[in-house]
Structure 1
Amino acid sequence: MRSGRTVARLALTLCLTAVPIHLAPHSAAAPPTGPAPTVSGGIGMPEGYTPPAPVFGVGYELGRLIPLSDGTQLTAAVRYPTDPATGLRAPGPFPVVVNWTTYGSMNGVLTAVATSIFDLLHIDLPDNVKDVRRVLNQATGMQDSLVSRGYIEVTADVRGTGSSPGEWDPASRQDGLDGNEVVEWAARLPGSNGRVGMFGYSFPAASALFTAETSRPGTPLRAMLLHDVPADLFADVLGHGGMFSPILLTVVVPLVQYMSVVWPLYNLPLTPQVAVQALVDHLRGALFSPETPLLKVLDGWQGGTFAHKDEWWAARDFGPGLKALVDNDIATYFVNGGWDLYQDAGVHNYAQLQNLAAGRPQYGPMPATAIGDPRFQLLQGPWSHLENGAGPYARMDTDAVTIAWFDHWLKGIDNGVDAMPGTLHMIDQTARGTNTTAYPFAGARTRTYDLGPGTLSDTPAAAPPDRLPYTLFDNPCNRENFEQWTAGFVQALLNLVQVEDPCAADVRAPQSGLTYTGDPVAAPTLVAGPGTLHVFVSPSADQAALQVFLEDVAPDGGAVHITGGAQLATLRTLDEEKTWRTADGTVYSAEVRQSSADVLPVTAGQIVDLAVRIRPAYYRLEAGHRLRLRITTGNFPSSFAPPKDVPALWGSSFDLLHDAAHPSRLTISLAPATP
C-alpha cells in the first residue's frame, strides 16, 4: 500500500504531456465564450454553507478482494485518510463511501492519481478546468474531496466488469444483491464506523440504486448521492415513445466489455489468480455467451425481443423497488441535468420517493401543498450528462453538496441539509435557481395552445391539414445529437476552453419539419415541467413517426432548443397509472406503454390520435420571446423509427389535422419567472 502522494509521483512522467487542440476560426455567428455564471448560494445546499477544510492525506490499497456468498471474489480499490505529517493511516473511525462501478476500479485509480498531480505541484487551476476535473473524478469513482475530509472510499468492480470475475448482466437485480454484500463488507473494514454511503455517476449510480432497492432492514447503507441515474432504463435510454435511441447502448455496452478485457491486465501483479479468471470470464461472456449484452444490442437494432419493454427491460425499471429506500431509511440526493440522457429520471425518482414517503400514489403528481421529506432531494440544472455543475450555463461546486449530504447522514453533523427551504432545487439556463418542493411545480399552470396554420394560439383554427414527408434526418448539428444523447462529451471538452458547443448554442438551419409559433410572452416566463402534444395524424403508410422539438425564438429570429419528445404511432396506448391529467381531463404528462403486447396496428389513411410526451424542462423564456413547436419524423442518429419500420416509412408522409373535429393541441406547464 502507498500514500496518494507516492502513487502520484509514479505517474508524474506519464501525465506531464498534453495534446494540443487546434480550433478552426469561428464564423460571424460564433457561439458564446467566456466564464460560465455561478449559481448563487443556498441553492441545493444550506445558505452560507462551506465544507470543512480537508485535513487528511490519501492512502491507497489496491487489489483488495471482496468474497461473496456464492464464492465469487470481486476486485476493489480502497482509499483511506492518512496523517499528512507521517503518511500513516489515520485511526478513524470513519464512514465508508462505496462506488459500485462498471467502469473499472483501476480506471478510478489512474484518474485520481493523474489529477492529483495538480495538487502535488501546487497548481491552481482555472475554475472551468476545476469543473472538468471534478466531473472526471466523480464519474470514475474516486474523490479526494471525501477521503481528505475523513471518509474511507471503496471502489468495487461489478461482477463481470473491471477486474471482477463472472459474466456481466447490465443493471440487474444481481448487481443489487452483490452490492449489498459489498456494503456489508465495507461496513466491517478496519477504521470504519459501520455507516456506509454510496456514490455513483451514471451506470454506477444505477448499480447503487439497485443495491438500495434490494437492501435489508437495518442495512449499514444510510445515504446515497447519485448523479444522472435513470428511472426506467428502457424508457430513458432506448425507447422514447417507441422511437429508437440507440447511441448510448451501442457505445457503452461494447466499451464496458472491451475495457473489462483490459482492466484485469492491470491487476495481474496484484491478484494474479483472480485477474486471470476475470479475463477468461469476460472474454467468454462477451464473445461466446448467448446472454452477452452485445447480442441484446444487436437484437434491439433488428427489432427483436429487446426492442420492447418486455421481461428483460421491465426488470430494469427502478419504480417498483423504490419503496425499499423509504422503508429502510436510505437518504438519497439526486443530481440531474435538464438535458441529461435521462432527462425525465430526476423528477420521476424524486416525485415517486416523496409520494411513497407521504403515503400517496407513487406515480401521481405531487400536490402543490406537499411538504417535502428531507431524506429525498433533487438538484437539477442546465447540464448534459458529463457537465453537472459545469459550464457553459451554470457553475456549481457539486462536491460541496456531496460533502454536506454525507456529513449529515453518515457523521451526524447538523449542517442544515435536512432543514432547507424545499427539497427540490432547480436551476435554469441563466444560472437562476430556486428551492421548492412539489413536482409538478407549485407555481406552474398548464396552458393549452391550439395548432393552426403555422401558429400556436388560444383559439381553435379550422384549416386544411399540413403534410409532412418522412425523413430519417434533421440537421445533425443540434443539441440532442451533439450534447444530450451523446452524454455532453463535446461540451465537456469545450468547457476546457470556455466555448459553448455551436450545435447546442442555437437551432441551426436548415431544419426539417412543420413549425407552429406562438405570440411573444409579455413577461419572463418559465417552461416548468412536462408537456404533451395531442395530435391527430393520417399517415400514407401503416406507420408514422413523430420527432418533436420545443424551441425558444428570440425577437431577431434566432432559436434555441428547450426540450423535445418522440412518438411511434403503433405504440400509443397510455399508461393511465403514470399519465397526468388536469381536472378537465386534458393530458399534460403522457406516458405510453412500450411492451410488445402494447403494439397497435396503423392502417394507411387511418386518423390516429397520439399523445406525444414532451420531456420536462426548467427553462427561462425572456419577455418578447416566443415558443415554437417543430414537428419532424426523425433525428438520426439520436432518435428515429426502429430500423425494421424505416423501409415502410421511406417515401411516405402523414397529414397533421387541426380542425374542429380533430383539434391538435400542445399543453405545457408555464410559471412566472423572476425579473
Structure 2
Amino acid sequence: MNRTRSAMLAAALSVVLVAIGLVLAPAAHAGPTHYVTVSDGTQIAINIRMPDDFIEGRSYPTIFEMSGYDGGSSDGDTPFDVGGEGSRGLTKIFNEEYVTIHASVRGTGCSSGEFDLFSWRSALDGREVIEWITTQPWSDGSVGLYGHSYGGITGFMIAATQPKGLEAASLSGLIDDLYRGIVYPGGVSNYGFPLLWTGGIRNVYDIGGGSYDGIVENQDQQCARNTASHSRTILNDPIVQGLSDTDNTWYQVRSLINYAERIQVPIHIAGAHQDEQTGPRGPYHLFEAVRDVPKRLLMSNGDHGTQTSDPFQADRKAWMDHWLRGVNGGFGRSRPQAAESEQPTSVRVFFEMGRDAQDDYGPNGTKDATTFPLEDTDWTNVYLREGNALSYDAPAGAETGDQYFSGSPRQSWSYQAGPTAGSQVSTAEGPDEVEYRSQPFVQNTALAGPITATLFSSSTAVDTEFFVQLIDEAPDGSRSYLQRGMLKASHREYMPTLSDKLDDGTIYRPHRPHTNPTNITPNEVYEYLIEVFPVSHVLREGHRLVVKIHTPPAVDSYYAYVPKRPIGINTIYHDSDRPSRLMLPIVPLNGVQLGPERDCGSQDSVRCIPG
C-alpha cells in the first residue's frame, strides 16, 4: 500500500512537471544523456561529459560520481538556481583530461525504481554502471570514484562492491556509523541536521535538481516515466528508523564502517573538524579501517564545504592523476607492483585553515605523517583540578568536587546565525556548567588526533548527559571553540575488544553497543569514558586550554539535541582515587612552518567569541 501511494504521488508530480515543461524551452545540457539498465531491470540515469578537447577515437579515463541529488540530470546549477554551484563542479576540476559522469541513485531523479537510503542495492547499481563505462569506445578501461557528502557516502559503498575497472577513489564528507556518528552521538538524540536533510534538503535536490531538470528543462519522457515509477518502503524510511533511541540492523547495514575492509583500491579521504552536516568523526575512523591499500588522509579545521575547497581539491586531483593517468604525485605504487607490506599511507594536517591578512585562503601550516593517529603523537593526560584548574599533574590527595545544574540547554549556537549570535547568554559562566583552565602555554603546542575525556561523576538523577567542550583562550580573552564530545549516562557501557586502542592498550575511541541503556543509581559515582571528536589545532604561546562540561545545548551548529534526560545536580570528582582527565594528542611541530597567529574568527569555521 505504501509503495502504491508513493508511486501515485510521483506520477502526479511528473504530470505537473511535464505540463509546466510544455511551455519552457529545454536547456542545452540539463537532464540525463544516457540510461543504463542494470541487472534487475532498473534504469539508472547518467549524465556524460567528454573532455574539453575530446578527440573522436581516443580513449580516456573516467571520473564517476553517484548520488540522490541532481545526479544524472546534473548541469552545473543548483535546484531552481538557488545559490552555490551544482555537482557539475566536478567537470571544472577534471574535464581537461577525463570523461566525467554523474548518476542518479535508483528511485531518485530520472532513475527508476525504489529508493532506499544508502542501500547495498544502490551500491551494486554503481558497480554495474562502472563496468558499463569500461566497455564504451571512449573509455580506456580505468575509472575513478569521486564524491562528497551524499556522493562520497554512496561512492564508498560502491568501492566496497569491488567493481572491475575501478582504479582509485577520492571521497569526503563521510559518516562512518549512522547511529554513532551523527544521529545519536554518545547516545544523545540529534534531531537537527539528520531530520532536516532527510525530510527537506535531500528531497529538494532530488526533485528540484534531478526530476525537474530531466522532465521540465530537457522534456525527457523517459525521465517522466521513471519518476512515476518511484516507490519507497515505509519501514526503510530514515525518519521512521530514527525514532529508535538504540542501535539496530537498519543503521548498521547503511554504515560505511562495516564495509571498509572490502575496499581494494587506493583511497583518498578528507575530513573537516567543524563539519556541521556529516560530522567530524567519520573520515578518520574510516581511514583507519581501510587496510592493505594505498591511502591518504587530509584533516583540517573547517566546515562541510572545506573538503572541496582549493587546497583540498588540488590534492584530490593529484591523487586521481597518480592512479589513473600515471602522473607521479609521490603516492607510491599499488598491488601487484608493491607488496602488501609496502602499501603507502600518508596523512596531511592543515593547521589554521582560513584567510590571511591579504584575504588569501589556505592553511597557516602543514604537517605530514604516515598514519592516523599520527605516529609521533605524545599522548598526554591533563587533569581536572581543584580551583577549576587544568594541570599536567595528577591529584595526589583529596580534593573537593565541583557541582553544576544539569538540564539547561543554554550553551547553544547556530551555524546559520553566526558565531557570536546570542553569545552574551550562551557563553557566560553560570551554575549550569563547570570550567577548567590551564596555565598559559610557554610555546606553541599542537593537537592532532582523537581525544578522550575520563570523568568521575555522580548525579542526583537516574540519567544524565555530558557535553565536553574544548576551547582555546587567547591572552585577550577571546575564545575559539575547537571540538566537543558527548555521552548519555545510560549508554555508558563500552566494549573494550571492539574499541580502538593504542599499542599499550589505552582506548582512544570507545565502541559502545547502544542496545541496552541502563539507568544510573542517584548519587553513586561512575567512571565515564567520553569520546571527543578529532581535532588539529595549534595552541599558541600565551594561550590557555579551557574545558567546559555541561548539558548538551539545544542547538549545536547544525545539530539539535533533544532532551531525553531528567534534570539534576551533577558532581565532577577529581581526587587521587577519582582522577578526572583528558587524554590529548600532542604532536611536535618540527618542520612545520607556521605563519603569524590569525585573528579571532579568521580560521575557517572555528567559532570565536571576542574577548
TM-score band (shorter)? 0.7 to 0.9
Structure 2: which amino acid aligns with 1:159?
A: R
How far apart in 1 are the matches of 2:316 and 2:376?
28
CA deviation after TM superposition for structure 1 residue 107, in Å: 6.2
Residues 63 and 324 of structure 1, relative CA distance in 2, 3 Å threshold: same
Is 1:72 aligned with 2:42? yes
Q: Structure 1 CA distance, aligned partners of 2:571 and 2:172?
A: 41
Q: Distance in 1 between matches of 2:511 and 2:447?
A: 22
Q: In the TM superposition, what is the alpha-carbon distance from 1:110 to its structure 2 partner?
A: 4.1
1:291 aligned partner? 235
C-alpha distance 72-298 of structure 1, shift in aligned 2 (>3 A):
closer
Describe the shift of the 1:167–1:61 C-alpha distance in structure 2 as closer, same or farther (beyond 3 A): closer
Structure-2 residue corresponding to 1:42: none
After TM superposition, the structure 1 = structure 2 runs for residues 353-392 of structure 1, keeping only pairs within 5 Å, are 353=290, 356-357=291-292, 375-388=294-307, 390=309
Structure-2 separation of matches of 1:245 and 1:507: 22
Cross-structure match for 2:445: 525
1:92 counterpart = 2:80: no
Structure 1 pair 641/569, CA: closer, same or farther in 2 (3 Å)?
Answer: farther
Residue 315 (1) aligns with residue 281 (2): no
Secondary structure of the residue that 2:175 maps to in structure 1? coil
Alignment partners' CA distance in 2, 1:507 and 1:541: 26
Name the SS for the 2:156 alignment partner.
helix
* Cα distance, 1:626–1:506 mapped onto 2, change above 3 Å: farther
State the distance in 2 between where 1:14 and 1:538 align: 66
TM, length-normalised to structure 1? 0.73
Corresponding position: 1:662 with 2:578: yes
Partner Cα separation in structure 2 for residue 220 and residue 507 of structure 1: 56
1:342 aligns with 2:279: yes
Whether the 8 Å contact between 2:31 and 2:215 is mirrored in structure 1 is no
Name the % identity: 22
Q: How does 1:5-44 map to 2 (within 5 A)?
A: none
1:446 equivalent to 2:379? Answer yes
Q: Per the alignment, in what secondary structure is the counterpart of residue 398 of structure 1? A: helix
Alpha-carbon deviation of 1:387? 2.2
* Equivalent runs, 1:69-468 vs 2, <5 Å: 69-83=39-53, 90-105=56-71, 108-111=74-77, 136=85, 139=87, 142-147=90-95, 149-216=96-163, 219-254=164-199, 255-262=201-208, 263-268=210-215, 270=218, 272-282=220-230, 284-285=231-232, 289-291=233-235, 293=237, 296-300=238-242, 302=243, 304=244, 307-326=245-264, 330-340=265-275, 341-353=278-290, 356-357=291-292, 375-388=294-307, 390=309, 396-418=310-332, 423-429=346-352, 431-453=364-386, 454-457=388-391, 458-460=393-395, 462-468=398-404
Q: Which residue of 2 aligns with 1:541?
A: 461
CA distance in 2, matches of 1:166, 1:190: 28
Secondary structure of 1:142 counterpart: helix
Mark the CA change 1:170 to 1:188 in structure 2 (over 3 Å): closer, same or farther: same
Structure 2 gaps, min length 5: 1-24, 334-342, 354-363, 595-611
Q: Secondary structure at the match of 1:109?
A: coil
Is the contact made by 1:200 and 1:225 (CA closer than 8 Å) also made in structure 2?
yes
The match for 1:622 among 506, 518, 540 is 540
Q: Distance in 2 between matches of 1:515 and 1:292?
A: 43
- The Cα shift of 1:142 comes to 3.4
> Among 478, 489, 508, which residue is 1:558 paired with?
478
Is the contact between residue 538 and residue 607 of structure 1 (CA under 8 Å) also seen in structure 2?
A: yes
Q: Which amino acid aligns with 2:91?
A: Q
CA distance in 2, matches of 1:507, 1:190: 64
2:551 corresponds to:
633
The Cα offsets for residues 49-72 of structure 1, whole Å up to 9 and x where unpaired, read as xxxxxxxxx988834111011011
1:55 aligns with: none
Pick closer, same or farther for the CA change 1:634–1:388 going to 2, 3 Å. same
Distance 1:583 1:110 in 2: 48
Question: Any idea what SS the aligned residue of 2:140 has?
Answer: strand
Q: After TM superposition, give the deviation of residue 428 of structure 1 in Å.
A: 0.9
- SS in structure 2 opposite 1:627? strand
* TM-aligned CA deviation for residue 582 of structure 1: 5.5
Question: Deviation string for 1:396-451 (max 9, x for gaps)?
Answer: 44332233222221122334343899610111116200121122212221111221
Task: Point out the more displaced range, 69-78 or 185-194.
Answer: 185-194
**CA offset digits 1:470-522 (Å, max 9, x no partner):** 23423323xxx41xxxxxx778xxxxxxxxx5469999632551101111211
**1:154-187 CA distances to partner (integer Å, 9 max, x unpaired)?**
1100011222122221112112111101111222
- Matching residue of 2:17: none
Tell me how far apart the structure 1 counterparts of residues 407 and 26 of structure 2 sit (CA, whole Å).
48
Contact 1:103 1:140 in 2 (8 A): no
Mapped contact 1:164–1:274 kept (Cα < 8 A): no
Give the Cα separation in 1 of the matches to 2:94 and 2:249: 39
CA distance in 2, matches of 1:604, 1:641: 23
Confirm or deny: 8 A CA contact 1:265 1:275 kept in the other structure.
Answer: no
Residue 62 and residue 642 in structure 1: after superposition, are their counterparts in 2 closer, same or farther (change >3 A)?
closer
Contact 1:98 1:186 in 2 (8 A): no
Q: Distance in 1 between matches of 2:64 and 2:154?
A: 11
Q: Report the CA distance between 1:338 and its aligned residue.
A: 2.3
CA–CA distance in 2 between the matches of 1:113 and 1:203?
16
CA displacement at 1:568 relative to structure 2:
0.5
Partner of 1:590: 509
Q: Deviations over 1:197-249 (max 9, x none)?
A: 11101111111110111225xx1111111122222222221121111222221
Give the AA of the match of 1:97. Answer: I
Residue identity matched to 1:447: T
